[in-house]
């Protein structure tokens, strides 16, 4: 097993993953694009901006230079918002060795193209082995070492198993699959559903409504996912149903908190400011809605979230319209 890995992205999730990898005895380089932030990590040995309360182990090296972070490191783990994914790959292109393997923990679509991140990767870094991790995990709980499980999907079986072994252990279980599409879609689609459930709770509706939205939302995710090539068992697993349960029911989810703010009457811009970090579901909603239109799918919950976020529809009216739909078979 390799002795070094670079985590690219020094936010809450990237820092938590660096902590997890360091527990396994690996030498971990933690890169961030803001030099002032990295300097604070070096001086304080703690990410007080995004993940306070966790000391960085001695085998975690914060770096502001991308070239230094990836030099002679055979494994990279990208943990940045999806909107910056292609740009980072373009920066990496002249820096990588031919056999460098890249995984990512980023969730969502590229908004401009509507493509999944593995499609972006294959355009920018063809020939490199790659993969994605996703599942029901909050950064704070992973950093704390609380029991959790995630899915790891990759383009190469050997590389996927090796990377899973690097992350696995100390109460984090890692399950492997080759269904990259399913793992990526689950990680993106659940954020839209979390916004819907959050908005419902923000409007003051109860547990019945929450359960109905989650269940019918899962049905919509299955319809869209299988049309795009995902396997049903993946969407019913950790990266799909597992992440839905997590993000729809716990206020650690920034997408749920964003939805709560919308339901409580906040504007989209103010709700995002209140959350204080990237809300992946906001941008994913548009890409997902456009895909449903191209595929001629009737997915009313996804459409309702899109109308609220991008067409200024009142959340209460969106609920009334969902309630007034004709009776149907499950």
Q: Give the pTM.
A: 0.93
Q: Could you give the 3-state DSSP secondary structure of residue 194?
A: helix
pLDDT digits (tens, 9 = 90+) for 243-300: 999 999 999 999 999 999 999 999 999 999 999 888 999 989 999 999 999 999 999 9
Among 108, 45, 118, which residue's Cα sits nearest to residue 80?
A: 108
Domains of the chain, start order:
4-178 (3.40.50.720), 181-323 (1.10.1040.10)
pLDDT on residue 201: 96
- Token digits for 28? 């971990």
- Please write the tens of the pLDDT for every residue from 57-102: 999 999 999 999 999 999 999 999 999 999 999 999 999 999 999 9
Q: Is 302 within 8 Å of 288 (Cβ atoms)?
A: yes
In sequence order, what are the beta bridge partners of 169? Answer: 172
- In 3D space, the residue among 185, 160, 299 whose CA is nearest the CA of residue 241 turns out to be 185
CA pair distance 127, 90, nearest whole angstrom: 14
Q: Are 305 and 196 in contact (CB under 8 A)?
A: yes
Q: Which of 190, 266, 291, 294 is catalytic?
A: 190
Distances (CA, A) of 218 to 31, 241, 314: 35, 7, 23
What is the model's pLDDT at position 54?
97
Q: Return d(Cα 167, Cα 148) in angstroms, integer.
A: 12
93 noted as active-site residue? no
């Amino acid at each position: 097993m390799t002795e070094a890995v670079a985590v690219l992205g020094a936010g809450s999730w990237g820092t938590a993953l660096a902590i997890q990898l360091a527990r396994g005895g690996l030498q971990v380089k933690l890169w961030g694009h803001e030099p002032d932030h990295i300097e604070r990590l070096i001086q304080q040995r703690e990410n007080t901006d995004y993940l306070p309360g966790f000391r960085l182990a001695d085998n975690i090296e914060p770096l502001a230079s991308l070239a230094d972070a990836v030099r002679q490191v055979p494994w990279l783990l990208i943990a940045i918002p999806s909107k910056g994914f292609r740009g980072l790959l373009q920066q990496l292109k002249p820096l990588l060795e031919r056999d460098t393997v890249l995984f990512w923990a980023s969730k969502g679509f590229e908004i401009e193209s509507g493509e999944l991140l593995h499609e972006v990767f294959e355009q920018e870094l063809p020939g490199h082995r790659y993969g994605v991790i996703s599942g029901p995990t909050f950064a704070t709980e992973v950093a704390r070492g609380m029991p959790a499980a995630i899915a790891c999907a990759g383009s190469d079986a050997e590389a996927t198993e090796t990377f899973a072994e690097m992350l696995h252990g100390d109460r984090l279980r890692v399950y492997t699959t080759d269904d990259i599409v399913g793992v990526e879609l689950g990680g993106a689609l659940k954020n839209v559903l979390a916004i819907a459930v959050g908005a419902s709770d923000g409007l003051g509706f109860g547990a019945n409504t929450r359960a109905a939205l989650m269940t019918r939302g899962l049905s919509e995710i299955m319809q869209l996912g299988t049309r795009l090539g995902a396997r049903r068992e993946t969407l019913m697993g950790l990266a799909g149903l597992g992440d839905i349960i997590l993000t729809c029911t716990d206020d650690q989810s920034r997408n749920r908190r964003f939805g709560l703010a919308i339901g409580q009457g906040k504007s989209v811009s103010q709700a995002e400011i209140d959350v204080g970090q990237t809300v992946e579901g906001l941008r994913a909603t548009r890409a997902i809605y456009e895909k449903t239109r191209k595929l001629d799918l009737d997915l009313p919950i996804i459409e309702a979230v899109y109308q609220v976020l991008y067409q200024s529809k009142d959340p209460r009216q969106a609920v009334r319209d969902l309630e007034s739909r004709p009776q149907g078979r499950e």
